[in-house]
Amino acid sequence: MMADAGNDSLEELLLKWEDRSISSEELKRLTSLLVEVGARTRLSAQFRFEAELAQAWQSAKWRDQSREQAERYQTMELAEAEGLTVAPGHGAIKTKIEPWGGRLFSPSRWRPWKWILPAGGLAIGLLFAYVGHRQSLGFARVMVGARGITIVRGEQAIGEVPDGFALRSKDRIQLADDGQATLFYLEENTQVQLRGPAQLELRETREGKNLRLHRGSLTARVAPQPADRPMILWTPQAELTVLGTEFTLSVVSNATRLDVIEGALRMACLEDGKEIKVHDGYFAVVSPGLKFAEQRQLPEPWNCQNVGLASRPGHAVVEGRQCRISSWGHQRNRFRPNFNYVYRTLEGDGEIRARVLDFDSRDKWTKAGVVIREDLKSGSPTAFLSVKAGRGLEFWSWSKKSNRSDQAGEEEFPYWVRLVRRGDTITAYKSPDGVEWIETGSDQFEMGPKIYVGLGVTAFNPKASNTAVFDNIGVLSATNPVAVSLFEQPRQLDVP
């Protein structure tokens, strides 16, 4: 079974390379061996096997942990079904005294392992049969931090839902007004964030994942699904086919709205069977009397794009009178201009103003505010007046000649911010009410007549998005003195 000395030499040297204990002489020897095609094939095979082994080991460990958790819950449920009660959080079983089973079940003969082992074994056996099947379904589980949640299983309502709770097909998740929950699937990177008030029903079948959103709102990031087993989402008005994408779905009274963040989805109207494809940056609404078609999430002439580095594309959507902008961070974000930018062009002098209303995280590196740039390239001169998710305001200006970041106040959001361009000077203002403005700083920029004005949201954490909410967004132009908001029709305003 062991290979000869020459073959061992290559694999041993590769192991030392992996271990970083290879000497320079050994590395030379390894390199000289790789002149042969056969040796390179063995190197490829070894690299692949290493990656597979690491992944398989981690997956097995993760499944073991999940199985233990599931076993604990299934043990509790099996015990309850047998007329036994379980002390929560302990796994110890107390018995009811039954006449026919008196001798076995009497407390004096009670041995917990007699019940836990068979029940656990049965649970493990069921789980192996279920999980080990090649076409096995990923279990959906409730993530940490769920609140205001009730799970209805058959006729039972489960109010105490701990972290990692295993869901089943036909479970109904109900969220109170301020409730929230995140569902994730064990065997793939699919997450569903649910916001209350909401009602979601899970129906897992061998044909794929099926979710029914009766009411409420969810945002889902769905890992690529097999083409013959897509995820299907139903609402009272529409059916969506999901192959792998990120989107938000909302159901209110008699309307379903879909916003696609990344990828694309097929959406069908249940009433007439009409089907459309909705792409990222677009939304569609199914509701009686409304045109069922793909529409831009941002009204013309506004656009959205990432500036600089981001682990994933950001997203922006207009909701009523507010604009919600999400940004994904990058570890190298700290000292470079990196943000998700919602912008439009402006000719000549003018200004952009907005109120930073809210953040969904208190990450100190998350900032949101107004931005003026010369163009959309990463090295473009930029002025950015921002409110921090933690506390305080910052005026940051970047050009070929300078890179400054100045504290502009200690205020917290919600707060108003404004940037005004006059020739080569950009001045920053802040306000508690949008009426009284206080100058906080200014800088010189050599920009052409055409500039880009808009809203920016930064983030640092590459593994989670940060979202900021803006309202009262307005753009004023000196050459064409008409205020243009993100939402309103143009109207006359005096330029200060």
Q: Which residues form the interface with another protein (CB under 8 A)?
A: 1-3, 8, 11-12, 15-16, 18-21, 24, 27-28, 30-31, 34-35, 37, 40-41, 43-45, 47-61, 134, 224, 263-264, 279-280, 309-311, 330-331, 462
Cβ-based nearer residue to another protein, 19 or 300: 19
Cβ-based nearer residue to another protein, 84 or 243: 243
Residue 226 Cβ, how far from another protein at the closest point, in Å? Answer: 10
Hey, what amino acid is at 457? V
Cβ-based nearer residue to another protein, 221 or 330: 330
Residues contacting residue 208 through CB under 8 Å, at least 6 positions apart: 225, 226, 229, 230, 231, 232
Residue 71 Cβ, how far from another protein at the closest point, in Å? Answer: 17
Hey, what amino acid is at 5? A
Residue 18 Cβ, how far from another protein at the closest point, in Å? Answer: 6
Residue 423 Cβ, how far from another protein at the closest point, in Å? Answer: 32
Residue 337 Cβ, how far from another protein at the closest point, in Å? Answer: 15
Residue 282 Cβ, how far from another protein at the closest point, in Å? Answer: 10
CA distance 257 to 267: 10
* Chain position carrying tokens 């007329």: 83
Residue 231 Cβ, how far from another protein at the closest point, in Å? Answer: 17
Residue 65 Cβ, how far from another protein at the closest point, in Å? Answer: 12
CA distance 401 to 399: 5
Hey, what amino acid is at 390? G
Contact 171, 190 (CB under 8 A): no
Contact 393, 411 (CB under 8 A): yes
Residue 331 Cβ, how far from another protein at the closest point, in Å? Answer: 7
Cis before 301? omega within 30 = yes
DSSP state of 133: S
Burial state string for 331-347 with b = 16 or more CB within 10 A and e = fewer than 16: eebeeebbbbbbbbebe
Residues contacting residue 168 through CB under 8 Å, at least 6 positions apart: 153, 202, 204
CA distance 13 to 31: 10
CA distance 10 to 31: 10
Cβ-based nearer residue to another protein, 3 or 157: 3
Cβ-based nearer residue to another protein, 134 or 291: 134
Contact 265, 290 (CB under 8 A): no
CA distance 43 to 34: 8
Cβ-based nearer residue to another protein, 379 or 432: 379
Number of Cα atoms under 13 Å in the Cβ half of residue 441: 17
Residue 448 Cβ, how far from another protein at the closest point, in Å? Answer: 21
Residue 73 Cβ, how far from another protein at the closest point, in Å? Answer: 23
Cβ-based nearer residue to another protein, 51 or 129: 51
Residue 452: which of 475, 428, 482 has the closest Cα? 475
Structure tokens at 453: 């004005």
CA distance 158 to 181: 14
Structural element, H or E, at residue 81: helix 37-81
Cβ-based nearer residue to another protein, 130 or 401: 130
Cβ-based nearer residue to another protein, 311 or 361: 311
CA distance 411 to 413: 7
Cβ-based nearer residue to another protein, 42 or 72: 42
Residue 1 Cβ, how far from another protein at the closest point, in Å? Answer: 6
* Phi, psi (deg, nearest 5) at residue 108: -65, -25
Cβ-based nearer residue to another protein, 416 or 452: 452
Cβ-based nearer residue to another protein, 1 or 144: 1
Number of Cα atoms under 13 Å in the Cβ half of residue 42: 19
Beta bridge partners of 205: 208
Structure tokens at 34: 């790789």
